[in-house]
Structure 1
Amino acid sequence: MTSDRPGGWRSRGSTQYFVLLIAVIVFTAAVLRAPFLAVAPVAREIGMDLEVSAAVVGLLTSIPVLCFAVFAPAAVSLVRRGGADFALTVTLIGTIAGCLLRVSGGIALALIGTALMGVFLTVGNIVIPVIISREFSPHRAHTMTGIYTSALNIGTMTVTLATAPLADAIGWRWALASWACFAVAALACWIPLRGLRGAFAPRPAASAVSGTVRGSAWRHRPTLLLSAAFAGQAFAFYGVTAWLPSLLSDEGFSGAAAGAIASIFQVAGIAGSLLIPVLTLRASLSAGFLAAGIGWLVVPLGFLFAPAGWLVWTSIGGVAQGAGITVVFIAFGTLGPDVNTTAGRAGLVQAVGYGVSAAGPLALGGLRELTGGWTVPLLVVLAAVLVLLVCGTLSARMLQAEIAARSSAARPEA
């Protein structure tokens, strides 16, 4: 892949370089979810202090996810025109600004700050996979993607566990603002790694400067199939995450027990994120999609036919959801031969996926109310998982064929 990386303060290839780079990726991954998911543990306090309804407080969580879909094209444009390094700097600074603005006043500033934060987090969603595919060999990129997606889950767990105790000690405003520390830590590693000029100066990718013609992502069949696969993964994940505690409560568990069981689904995702790169490296990308999809199937099928096996279904399903998002992000690195193409196609996948995912909790909740039970919502989850399984596997096979064709074309004739 063509590099758009200027020189930094650290020698590329040195141990120090890669330690800082991995720290940047991990801290950035944590900040891509933590700031807006931290709202849930203190939602009641926010509503009481700002004198707004629970529905309005809910916007502080849902707005960033909608931004992921709406602003993905703008994020792609920033990565192409400013370069991946500049785009990451913008992500981190913009996220810090959004976090601080969100807690600096009433509900209007809270909503504006949340939207601002969502826009910059969208850039981060696009640029981190681009940086991973640029900086690491294909073999190591699989493992690094697993570390990246596991850091997403670890960041989520951290804020879920720590925000409420922090709020009791220092108030909800300071508790929410404190999670900007992930972005500050990432920036503190990023600037020494890239240097002031490398981090802050816009620098378009070389392929953009040379005028390379890029085909539309909408005409690239593997990208469209991967978009459908990610939509299935994201719809199922956000829907199950939102409603699994309620489903368990209807099965007779107390609220506390239901929440604890549901947390297994999230914790197991870390294992899935770290294990799936082993499979994609030793077998293939399509094998990764097959494994993630089949594992995901046990959640709707298990709760439909044997809900008493909740521990098995939540554990296997948790591993599968972590594997599902990781294998999609691994696929991003195979979407194109250069930074611009990869960013454009990955932007389309995320715009479609996050756009569909925003409907997951609403659709499943509405169907639960309409039918009075969980059978129809679980069948919808089953359909979403089948989309992940089928479309992801087909996309992977096409991408693997494209890689083989590019390698063959690049190989000099004897």
Structure 2
Amino acid sequence: MALSLRAPIIAPTAVITDITSDTGLTAVGAGLLTGLPVLLFALATPLATRSIRRFGPETTIILCLAGVLAGTVLRSLGPASVVLAGTVLIGAAMTLGNIAVPVLIRRDVPFKRISAVTGAYSATMNIGSMATLLGTAPLAALLGWRWAIAAWGLVTAAGLAYWLLRQRRARQVAAPGPAPEAPRESTAGSSRNGPGATAATVRTSTDRAHFRRVVALLVLAFCGQSAAYYATTAWLPLLLSDTRGLAPTSSGATASLFQIAAVIGAFGVPLLAARTRLWIATAVVALCWVTLPIGLLAAPEAFVLWAVIGGIAQGGGFTAIFSIIPRVAHNNADTASASARIQAGGYLAATCAPPLAGWLNSSTGSWTAPLFLVLAATLAFTVGSLLAVRLADRR
């Protein structure tokens, strides 16, 4: 599942020149190939929550993979309008998976292993993105760009086959009637917080207020995480070319370190949290995030080090945020609702951050202002995530 949740967005970036020359896609249209899916991650979250509520997370994942596969094939077939239509379908379908996976992890994974499984999920998305980025151009040289971006649909098709088989087997062994999820606390026979409210009702109301506070803080944290990640991903190669005089291949290689180092962060957070506390692992991630823009501002000659540290931060930040949700969610509906709100806010920030960073660069003629934007985003992650994890631990 993770291999199909980001790689299809990355594939066109490796052959963007071929796509634009063959289809007549404008520069704005080329930007939409990566910008549209991220925008849909924010806008299509109500669709994902409705799907989970009506069909369950497994069926939602199947719909996700089917949509990604159909969009991947459609995008490789026609002119510019068809390419963009396939991209819209991919983005909407991926949104289903973005919300369904945390629900499935919360439901099926033992509590002590949630961080580890979330880390593996996050790391695999990064690995899939890197494999796609490295493999698409050679495939295009052999087969042409259309076959090259369509070929990654084989991975999605394999995932779809697996999940269809898994659901079929689950139905064969399922009991005639699935038991409904037990409520966290019973509140029957009493009015909420009224004069006759029971202690159970009051505790439930307190839990809900606590849950809303943690989710609000996680929205802030994921807005900072996503804005910092997408702004850095979009502009780090050009920043290094402008400030350090690197050739495109060298700046691209350094930027790739920012992506692949995410694997260290994704696995490092659960390992550190298992030996200490999740808030300590989150604090380490926050320190790494803040170090990236400060390092590039204060000691730009050590750009390789800052790229690696920033990569660790972006992989660990995702894992930390989505490891906190199950600590405060009362049931699957809470998990889906929290995940939807957090991702809607975060991906909306992700859509705005790269063009804002580009505008700051063109307006000031310097990369200082964009780096301060990234710094502000990392500070938002720091405040939101640390307050959220401390509140979650007090529950």
On whether the aligned pair clears a TM of 0.5, the verdict is yes
- Could you say which residue in structure 2 is the equivalent of 1:358? 351
- Could you say which residue in structure 1 is the equivalent of 2:383? 390
Which of the residues 233, 245, 250 maps onto 1:241?
233
In 2: Cα distance, 1:151 partner to 1:125 partner: 14
**Do the aligned residues in 1 keep the contact of 2:2 with 2:121 (CA within 8 Å)?**
yes
In 2: Cα distance, 1:340 partner to 1:204 partner: 16
- Could you say which residue in structure 1 is the equivalent of 2:180? 206
In 1: Cα distance, 2:168 partner to 2:234 partner: 42
In 2: Cα distance, 1:95 partner to 1:68 partner: 13
CA RMSD of aligned residues (A): 2.4
In 1: Cα distance, 2:339 partner to 2:147 partner: 35
Q: Which moved more, 1:296-305 or 1:178-187?
A: 178-187
- Could you say which residue in structure 2 is the equivalent of 1:296? 289
Rate the CA distance shift 1:66–1:334 in 2: closer, same or farther, 3 A. Answer: same
CA shift for structure 1 position 282: 2.3
Rate the CA distance shift 1:198–1:363 in 2: closer, same or farther, 3 A. Answer: farther
Give CA deviations for 1:83-108 in whole Å, capped at 9, x if unaligned. Answer: 11111111111111111112221122
**Do the aligned residues in 1 keep the contact of 2:211 with 2:328 (CA within 8 Å)?**
no
**Do the aligned residues in 1 keep the contact of 2:72 with 2:149 (CA within 8 Å)?**
yes
1:66-85 equivalences in 2 (<5 Å): 66-85=39-58
Q: Which moved more, 1:222-231 or 1:302-311?
A: 302-311
In 2: Cα distance, 1:205 partner to 1:119 partner: 31
Counterpart residue type for residue 237 of structure 1: Y
Which of the residues 332, 336, 345 maps onto 1:343?
336
- Could you say which residue in structure 1 is the equivalent of 2:321? 328
Which of the residues 66, 82, 91 maps onto 2:64?
91
**Do the aligned residues in 1 keep the contact of 2:211 with 2:329 (CA within 8 Å)?**
no
Rate the CA distance shift 1:219–1:329 in 2: closer, same or farther, 3 A. Answer: closer
In 2: Cα distance, 1:249 partner to 1:105 partner: 34
CA shift for structure 1 position 257: 1.0
- Could you say which residue in structure 2 is the equivalent of 1:134? 107
- Could you say which residue in structure 2 is the equivalent of 1:400? 393
- Could you say which residue in structure 2 is the equivalent of 1:45? 18
CA shift for structure 1 position 179: 1.3
**Do the aligned residues in 2 keep the contact of 1:86 with 1:198 (CA within 8 Å)?**
no
**Do the aligned residues in 1 keep the contact of 2:58 with 2:163 (CA within 8 Å)?**
no
Counterpart residue type for residue 174 of structure 1: W
Counterpart residue type for residue 157 of structure 2: V
CA shift for structure 1 position 193: 2.5
Give CA deviations for 1:249-307 in whole Å, capped at 9, x if unaligned. Answer: 11221111111111111111111111111122222222222111101111111111111
Rate the CA distance shift 1:130–1:254 in 2: closer, same or farther, 3 A. Answer: same
Counterpart residue type for residue 370 of structure 1: S
- Could you say which residue in structure 1 is the equivalent of 2:221? 229
- Could you say which residue in structure 1 is the equivalent of 2:117? 144
Give CA deviations for 1:3-57 in whole Å, capped at 9, x if unaligned. Answer: xxxxxxxxxxxxxxxxxxxxxxxxx111100111111111111111111212212
In 2: Cα distance, 1:87 partner to 1:52 partner: 32
3-state secondary structure, aligned to 2:261:
helix
Q: Which moved more, 1:385-394 or 1:330-339?
A: 330-339
- Could you say which residue in structure 2 is the equivalent of 1:166? 139
TM-score, normalised via structure 1 length: 0.85
In structure 2, list runs of 5 or more residues that go unmatched.
Answer: 188-203
3-state secondary structure, aligned to 1:166:
helix
**Do the aligned residues in 1 keep the contact of 2:269 with 2:282 (CA within 8 Å)?**
no
Aligned length: 373
CA shift for structure 1 position 244: 0.7
In structure 1, list runs of 5 or more residues that go unmatched.
Answer: 1-27, 403-414
In 2: Cα distance, 1:181 partner to 1:349 partner: 31
CA shift for structure 1 position 228: 0.5
TM-score, normalised via structure 2 length: 0.89
Rate the CA distance shift 1:149–1:205 in 2: closer, same or farther, 3 A. Answer: farther
